[in-house]
């Protein structure tokens, strides 16, 4: 004996309603996840730019210190030559 038609229809409607709620939740959380990924990508890009800027500053300072370090002995040598 099969259940009455109205019980089957009621069960089917309930299942469809639950599926609709699940689909809406998935869409909502999917949108939130996409926003999170976008913010994360922006932050990673900012960090990459910061690291590149720091590397550039570091290489500039290393070059500057190298020039200064090389100029000091040269100035001392020139000064000693003129003082003799």
What are the tens digits of pLDDT across the range 38-47?
999 999 999 9
- 22 pLDDT band, cuts 50/70/90, is very high
**pTM for the complete prediction?**
0.56
What are the tens digits of pLDDT across the range 45-71?
999 999 999 999 999 888 888 888 888
**How many whole angstroms from its chain centre is CA 32?**
16
Cα angle value 51/38/44 (rounded, 5°) = 10
Name the token pair of 28.
């909502």
Dihedral over alpha carbons 24, 28, 29, 34 (to 10 degrees)? 130
């Amino acid at each position: 004996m099969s259940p009455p038609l109205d019980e089957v229809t009621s069960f089917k409607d309930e299942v469809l309603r639950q599926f609709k709620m699940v689909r809406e939740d998935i869409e909502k959380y999917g949108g939130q996840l996409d926003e999170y990924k976008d913010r994360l990508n922006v932050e990673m890009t900012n960090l990459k730019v910061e690291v590149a800027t720091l590397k550039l500053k570091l290489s500039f300072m290393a070059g500057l210190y190298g020039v200064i370090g090389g100029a000091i002995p040269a100035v001392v040598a020139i000064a000693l030559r003129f003082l003799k």
